Homo-oligomer: A and B are copies of this chain.
Amino acid sequence: MASIVQLNEAVRDLVRDGDVVALEGFTHLIPFAAGHEIIRQQRRNLTLVRMTPDVIYDQLIGAGCASRLVFSWGGNPGVGSLHRLRDAVEKAWPAPLAIEEHAHAGMAAAYAAGASGLPFGLLRGYLGSDLPKVNPNVRFIECPFTGERLAAVPAVRPDVAVVHAQKADRRGNVLMWGLVGVQKEAVLAAKRSIVTVEEIVDDLGAPPNAVVLPTWVVNAVCHVPGGAFPSYAQGYYARNNAFYKQWDEVSRDRDSFTAWIDRHVKGTSDFAGFRRSIEEAAGHV
């Protein structure tokens, strides 16, 4: 059974230095609030897993939380590079960042394998790509029936999965809809899980065959309205494309990045405080 707790308590109790942590959400429902709380609590040496490390991982990496990244596409969607990710990979700032790089198909298979209790994910993948040359975790096996050569990747098995969803009920059952990415797989593959939600309601009102995480596979449910900002929560608010574009400026330079994190994330006590701080700053421009 999930506990319904404050986000700072959930991160304090469930995310530990050195953990393998997957914050998932494919463009939609990205758990920004939870990522910020990990920065505030200054977790270190995390292995960050995510198919599409975008702005939230840029922030975690720039803030020095990570020592390793497992991923398949790292960019600011529709904008360009992630400058903090590049600075860590290219110049080891603020700390060296080891990378394990996949293709999306491999990461998706690895999450599904993790959720399925299998040691590896199987795919027709990486054919002709140089990725297996730089990633020893891409291997090849033979089909025992046809002799075909297929790719294998180790299952993703995070210590903690963190996702954002639209709704939970008071028992901690979680409902999400729209683009659901690999969120269900991440939670089911992980040892522990945190779900932030837009709303806590009496009755989920889930349509048939909806994507539901039953309360007994979740550790903590945290009520954080707007917690996916600047990404979006379908049915609640749209993607803040302007934020993503502005991030390109903020993150380009180490000093402006650090000032931003210090002021808006470390200088606030929770996500509501972060949102007020961002709005104030915008008002003064």
Q: A residues near B, CB below 8 A?
A: 117-120, 122-124, 137, 139-141, 143-146, 148, 150, 152, 154, 177-178, 180, 207-211, 234
Contact = CB atoms under 8 A, between A and B. Distances in A.
Nearest to A147: B119
A83 B139 CA distance: 48
**Chain A, interface SS category:** loop
B124 A117 contact: yes
B118 A124 contact: yes
A145 B138 CA distance: 10
Contacts of A118: 122-124, 150
Nearest to A143: B119
A177 to B, nearest CB: 4
A220 to B, nearest CB: 24
A198 to B, nearest CB: 15
B139 A119 contact: no
B152 A145 contact: yes
Nearest to A121: B122
A139 B146 CA distance: 12
A80 to B, nearest CB: 31
B144 A144 contact: no
A117 B150 CA distance: 11
A92 B28 CA distance: 57
Nearest to A176: B209
Given A178-B208, A208-B177, A209-B211, A119 B141 contact: no
28 contacts: A117-B124, A118-B124, A118-B150, A119-B143, A119-B145, A119-B146, A119-B148, A120-B143, A120-B144, A120-B145, A120-B146, A139-B144, A141-B144, A143-B152, A144-B152, A145-B154, A177-B207, A177-B208, A177-B209, A178-B208, A178-B209, A180-B209, A207-B207, A207-B208, A207-B210, A208-B210, A209-B209, A209-B210
Contacts of A208: 177-178, 207, 210, 234
Contacts of A124: 117-118
